[in-house]
């Protein structure tokens, strides 16, 4: 049910919604086989309380997840949840550690929460596949940079140690009291061009594989100006054949909500008032790419 409202609000396409009920006949692996071949489906998001045939699921998921991200929200993780599941669908929720292993070995992205399932389903297929593990944070606020760094560790992302020459190149664009290194802290009073220059540099240097942007609301670079320049920078580089995953975290007055939506509608997962969700979406993309052997 949640997918209905969420997808409409998020303007996210939905190729199909299948409710399996108690899985007396068709189950998850049958559906994975179906959606593997469905050209309208870019990502498969699954909520389940058990897997009746774990071995069949693992086998099929391992193959399918190499082509399309498979995201699973496994309910009944805890003893109380398992008890509720058994009274709901008769599911034998089983040892959660085993599910965790099955999902990891199958290249499946495990969502921790319903909101994660929805956010990953929306964001993961939108991001281009990263070409390596080097993530760089570019932020207009040092405080965001710290929280974004924490979120990188939480989501198993690698902050690239900044090479000296690249550090120098970033420093050309930012005030002397800004911090280069990684995060690149351009500081909170910079005009749009500083954001654009640093984002373009981040996209063009081949040692960097993904960008996390932290935006800090100022009157010098208002939210929609930021959003549009990021999309422009992405488009400029795309025209040169360079595509990298970009996610963004926006802090500020309510206009950051509109700016986040603009970014999302233009292929850049962006969230207002959160440093963790955009990084989690990027982390899910990396988890998928690693599982699919693309990294």
* Per-residue contact string for residues 110-149; x = within reach of its own copies by CB under 8 A: --xxxx--x------------------x---xxx-xxxxx
Q: Kindly provide the residue ranges of all beta strands, DSSP E only, lying in the chain, ordered along the sequence.
A: 44-48, 70-74, 109-110, 134-139, 158-159, 184-185, 210-216, 246-251, 270-272
Q: How far is the CB of 161 from its own copies (least distance, A)?
A: 10
Q: Does 162 bind its own copies (CB under 8 A)?
A: no
Q: How far is the CB of 228 from its own copies (least distance, A)?
A: 18
Q: Which stretch binds its own copies (CB under 8 A): 30-38, 99-107, 150-158, 233-241?
A: 150-158
Half-sphere exposure of residue 21: CA atoms within 13 angstroms, side-chain side:
3
Q: Does 275 bind its own copies (CB under 8 A)?
A: yes
Rank residues 58 and 280 by Cβ distance to its own copies and give the closer one.
280
The owner of tokens 């998928």 is: 288
Q: Does 283 bind its own copies (CB under 8 A)?
A: no
Cis peptide before 183 (omega within 30 of 0): yes
46-85 burial code (b ≥16 CB/10 A, e <16): bbbbbbbebebbbebbbebbbebbbbbbbbbbeeeebebb
Q: How far is the CB of 102 from its own copies (least distance, A)?
A: 18
- Of the candidates 30, 167, 232, 257, which one interacts with its own copies according to CB under 8 A? 257
- Of the candidates 276, 290, 292, 295, which one interacts with its own copies according to CB under 8 A? 276
First-residue to last-residue Cα distance in the chain? 35
Rank residues 19 and 293 by Cβ distance to its own copies and give the closer one.
19
Instruction: Find, among 286, 259, 283, 285, the residue nearest to 271 by Cα.
Output: 259
- Residue 37, exposed/middle/buried by CB under 10 A (0-12, 13-18, 19+)? exposed
- Of the candidates 5, 175, 191, 206, which one interacts with its own copies according to CB under 8 A? 5
CA-to-CA dists, residue 187 to 195, 196, 292, angstroms: 10, 14, 37
- CA dist 232 and 234 (Å) reads 5
CA-to-CA dists, residue 197 to 18, 148, 172, 202, 251, angstroms: 46, 21, 10, 9, 21
* Per-residue contact string for residues 186-225; x = within reach of its own copies by CB under 8 A: ------------------------------xx--------
- CA dist 3 and 38 (Å) reads 19
* Per-residue contact string for residues 38-77; x = within reach of its own copies by CB under 8 A: ---------x-x-----------------------x-xxx
- Of the candidates 169, 204, 255, 265, which one interacts with its own copies according to CB under 8 A? 255
Q: Does 171 bind its own copies (CB under 8 A)?
A: no
* Per-residue contact string for residues 13-42; x = within reach of its own copies by CB under 8 A: ------------------------------
| Whether 225 contacts 258, CB under 8 Å | no
- Interface residues with its own copies (CB under 8 A) are 1-2, 4-6, 8-9, 47, 49, 73, 75-81, 83-85, 87-89, 112-115, 118, 137, 141-143, 145-154, 159, 179, 181, 183, 185, 216-217, 251-257, 272-277
């Amino acid at each position: 049910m949640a997918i209905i409202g969420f997808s409409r609000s998020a303007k996210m396409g939905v190729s199909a919604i299948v409710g399996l009920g108690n899985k007396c006949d068709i189950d998850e692996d049958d559906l994975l086989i179906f959606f593997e071949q469905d050209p309208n489906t870019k990502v498969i998001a699954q909520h389940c309380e058990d897997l009746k045939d774990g071995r069949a699921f693992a086998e099929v998921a391992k193959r399918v997840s190499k082509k399309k991200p498979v995201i699973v929200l496994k309910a009944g993780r805890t003893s109380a949840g398992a008890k509720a599941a058994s009274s709901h669908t008769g599911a034998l929720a089983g040892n959660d550690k085993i599910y965790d292993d099955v999902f990891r070995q199958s290249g499946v992205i495990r969502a921790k929460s319903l909101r994660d399932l929805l956010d990953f389903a929306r964001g993961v297929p939108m991001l281009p596949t990263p070409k390596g593990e080097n993530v760089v944070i570019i932020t207009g606020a040092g405080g965001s940079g710290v929280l974004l760094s924490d979120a990188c560790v939480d989501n198993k992302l690698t902050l690239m140690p900044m090479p000296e020459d690249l550090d120098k190149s970033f420093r050309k664009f930012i005030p002397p009291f800004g911090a280069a290194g990684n995060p690149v802290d351009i500081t909170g009073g910079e005009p749009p061009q500083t954001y654009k220059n640093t984002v373009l540099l981040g996209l063009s240097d081949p040692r960097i594989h993904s960008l996390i942007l932290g935006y800090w609301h100022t009157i010098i670079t208002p939210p929609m100006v930021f959003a549009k320049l990021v999309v422009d920078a992405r488009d400029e580089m795309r025209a040169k054949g360079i595509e990298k995953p970009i996610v963004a975290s926006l802090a500020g007055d309510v206009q950051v909500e509109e700016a986040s939506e603009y970014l999302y509608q233009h292929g850049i997962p962006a969230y207002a008032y959160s440093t963790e969700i955009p990084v989690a979406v990027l982390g899910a993309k990396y988890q998928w790419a690693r599982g699919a052997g693309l990294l």
